[in-house]
A = this chain, B = another copy of it.
Amino acid sequence: MDALVPFAPDRPKTRLADVLSPAERRGFADAMLSDVLGALRTADFSPTLLTTEPVERDAAQTVDDRPLTEAVNAALADRRPDPDRPVCVVMADLALATPRSLSRLRASGDVVVAPGRGGGTNALAVRHPDFRVDYHGASYLDHLRAARAVGASVREVDSHRLATDVDERADLAELLLHGDGAARDWLVDAGFELDATDGRVGVRRSGSN
């Protein structure tokens, strides 16, 4: 199954600016992308990077420097997904995604959607040629409406792993708790560890490293 993985190497993870330098954010985003591509391949997806500029990666690439929504919709229009040729859209920062969780996108439905925490849309499987995305605001609700508008059936994937896009400091704790790939290793090497002094577990960073 084809899977588009949008990636913007020029402006990675700005909401982690309070804990990571620009160079670190690039390194961390690269590690997350490696995990996502690896999990997709293990689950027999064929990933294509939908990237704002060419990157050095052993992966098929489509370069499109437009904003996310426009670039994804151009790719969907180009590929015309149908029930026999679904197209997935999987975010590059789903560092907790496993082959098993991603395989749940194969569930039946014209549009299979894995909501992200905070109303986002972290992964989609599209089997309807007329469905289009809109990633602004509460995109999960917008995508339910968009599917209804074109008569597409919708299935929700209820997954904590797919709901956890790694955007903010609190998300790093999820990665330390549940991750086992390159991104988790990157965090550990950078000195991050769990901090269980508060209600929910957070992260702290050691001074060295």
* A contact set with B: CB distance below 8 Å: 15, 100-101, 115, 117-120, 137-138, 140-141, 158-163, 167-168, 170, 173-174, 177-178, 194, 196, 199-202
State the main secondary structure of chain A at its contact with B: mixed
A-B contact pairs, 15 of them (CB 8 A): A117-B200, A118-B170, A118-B174, A118-B201, A119-B194, A119-B200, A120-B200, A137-B196, A138-B196, A138-B201, A158-B160, A159-B159, A163-B163, A167-B199, A168-B200
Complex: how many Å from CA A175 to CA B194?
Answer: 27
- Chain B residues within 8 Å of A138, by CB: 177, 194, 196, 201
Complex: how many Å from CA A177 to CA B159?
Answer: 15
A199 to chain B, nearest CB (A): 6
Closest partner residue, chain B, to A177 (CB atom): B119
For A158, give its contact among B101, B137, B199 (CB under 8 Å). B101
Complex: how many Å from CA A178 to CA B167?
Answer: 21
Complex: how many Å from CA A161 to CA B178?
Answer: 17
Question: Judging by beta carbons under 8 Å apart, are B160 and A117 in contact?
Answer: yes
- Chain B residues within 8 Å of A194, by CB: 119, 138
Closest partner residue, chain B, to A174 (CB atom): B117
